[in-house]
């Protein structure tokens, strides 16, 4: 079985700096060749042999899963690109500024041909230090893009004061404390740090600690999109947990953007790890709990309008 081609999804609100980043990825020497799928009505022109215009053709799968939307154009384009395997090492999918990243991400889990040939590596979101505050007020898409991200580039930091920067950073963290945050001016991040993240790879979910270590840093922004972290200091009963998490995914899937978990199952030497996008959950038993490693069970949900108390009670009832 040949290696799957990694796909990086690049999102970000209009004007945040996606095109700048894309042009850097395409022109800099980093020893990799990319096929790039851009949205047809992109912000600025980029050109090249393996640049493909996409149309954001979103449709709902007929599988009874109401939030299970996928990108039909992406399936078609990836199928076409796979005939030219060997011409590129990785694929970047640029989305429009207004796009919800979920249909793109779900495409990789729902379409078997796409899933066989490629793997979703990470969702990278470019944000703008100067205007993000306003966008979070008036554009729900901007919030979704941050909530969904594995890597967030906080761009244009040179255009704001240190206080404003701290404020906008806190706002991002209130929505998504788990993504890796890279501060940048004119998108001057190290390209290698954005690629090969394997953010959706179960083997790479080692911990789900927040990305920052500023203890006592409590900003209470009343965000409707936020993350909820739940911990049981010990084992859970899989007979209780599995039906519960499946029910949560079924009923609250539309509001849950991303989820992750590392769990200690009773009488199971291995860690159970899962990750999810809306209703789609992907989980497996992973490595053994190490000697001296504390067996505990932890879940993270990032979503809109989640009921923390209800989720906590439900999870705690799964304790072994």
Partner 1 sequence: MATLTQPTSLREHVVPIAAGDHVVATRWLKQGLVFALADGRVLRWRDGATDSVEAHAGGILCATGDNDRLISGGDDGRVVATRFEGEPEELAKDPKRRWVDAITLSPSGHLAWNTGKTVHARDEKGRVRTLEAASTPQGLVFAPKGYRLAVAQMNGVSLWYPNTEAKPEFLDWKGSHLDAAWSPDGRFVVTSMQENALHGWKLGDRPGHMRMTGYPAKPRSLSWSHDGLWLASSGADGAIVWPFQGDGPQGKAPRECGVRHARVTRVAFHPGALVLAIGYDDGCILLVRLTDGSELLVRPAERGSGISAFAWDKAGKRLAFGAEDGAAGVLTLPA
Binding residues for partner 1, rule: CB under 8 A, are 2, 40, 49, 52-53, 55, 57, 59-63, 70, 72-73, 75-77, 80, 83-85, 111-113
Query: Rounded distance, CA 273 to CA 87, Å?
Result: 34
Query: Rounded distance, CA 65 to CA 21, Å?
Result: 35
Cβ at position 43, least distance to partner 1 in Å: 16
Q: Which two tokens stand for residue 10?
A: 């690049």
CB nearer to partner 1: give 77 or 263: 77
For 200, phi then psi, to 5°, come to -105, 10
CB nearer to partner 1: give 68 or 153: 68
| Chain centroid to CA 105 | 8
Cβ at position 5, least distance to partner 1 in Å: 15
Please choose, from the candidates 128, 179, 177, 130, the residue with its C-alpha nearest in 3D space to the C-alpha of residue 154. Answer: 128
CB nearer to partner 1: give 18 or 71: 71
Cβ at position 13, least distance to partner 1 in Å: 25
CB nearer to partner 1: give 86 or 216: 86
Query: Rounded distance, CA 266 to CA 242, Å?
Result: 13
**Bridge pairing between strands 270-277 and 280-288:** antiparallel
CB nearer to partner 1: give 73 or 182: 73
3-state class (DSSP) for residue 108: helix
Cβ at position 109, least distance to partner 1 in Å: 14
Cβ at position 204, least distance to partner 1 in Å: 28
3-state class (DSSP) for residue 128: strand
């Amino acid at each position: 079985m040949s290696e799957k081609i990694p796909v990086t999804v690049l999102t970000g609100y209009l004007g945040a700096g996606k095109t700048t980043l894309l042009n850097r990825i395409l022109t800099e020497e980093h020893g990799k060749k990319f096929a790039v799928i851009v949205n047809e009505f992109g912000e600025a022109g980029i050109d090249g042999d393996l640049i493909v215009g996409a149309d954001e053709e979103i449709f709902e799968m007929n599988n009874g899963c109401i939030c299970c939307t996928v990108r039909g154009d992406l399936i078609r384009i990836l199928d076409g690109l796979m005939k030219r395997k060997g011409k590129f090492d990785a694929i970047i999918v640029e989305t429009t500024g207004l796009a919800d990243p979920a249909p793109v991400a779900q495409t990789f889990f729902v379409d078997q041909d796409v899933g066989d040939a490629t793997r979703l590596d990470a969702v990278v979101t470019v944000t703008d230090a100067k205007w993000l505050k306003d966008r979070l007020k008036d554009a729900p898409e901007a919030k979704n893009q941050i909530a969904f991200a594995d890597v967030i580039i906080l761009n244009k930091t040179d255009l704001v004061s240190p206080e404003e920067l701290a404020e906008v950073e806190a706002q991002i963290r209130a929505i998504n404390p788990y993504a890796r945050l890279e501060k940048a001016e004119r998108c001057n991040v190290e390209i290698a740090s954005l690629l090969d993240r394997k953010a959706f790879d179960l083997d790479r979910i080692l911990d789900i600690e927040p990305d920052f270590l500023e203890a006592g840093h409590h900003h209470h922004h009343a965000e409707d999109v936020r993350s909820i972290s739940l911990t049981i200091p010990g084992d859970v009963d899989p007979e209780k947990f599995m039906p519960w998490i499946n029910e949560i995914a079924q009923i609250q899937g539309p509001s849950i953007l991303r989820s992750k978990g590392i769990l200690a199952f009773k009488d199971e030497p291995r860690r159970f790890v899962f990750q999810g996008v809306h209703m789609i959950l992907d989980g497996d038993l992973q490595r053994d709990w190490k000697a001296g490693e504390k067996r505990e069970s932890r879940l993270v949900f990032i979503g809109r309008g989640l009921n923390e108390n209800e989720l906590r009670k439900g999870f705690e009832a799964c304790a072994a």
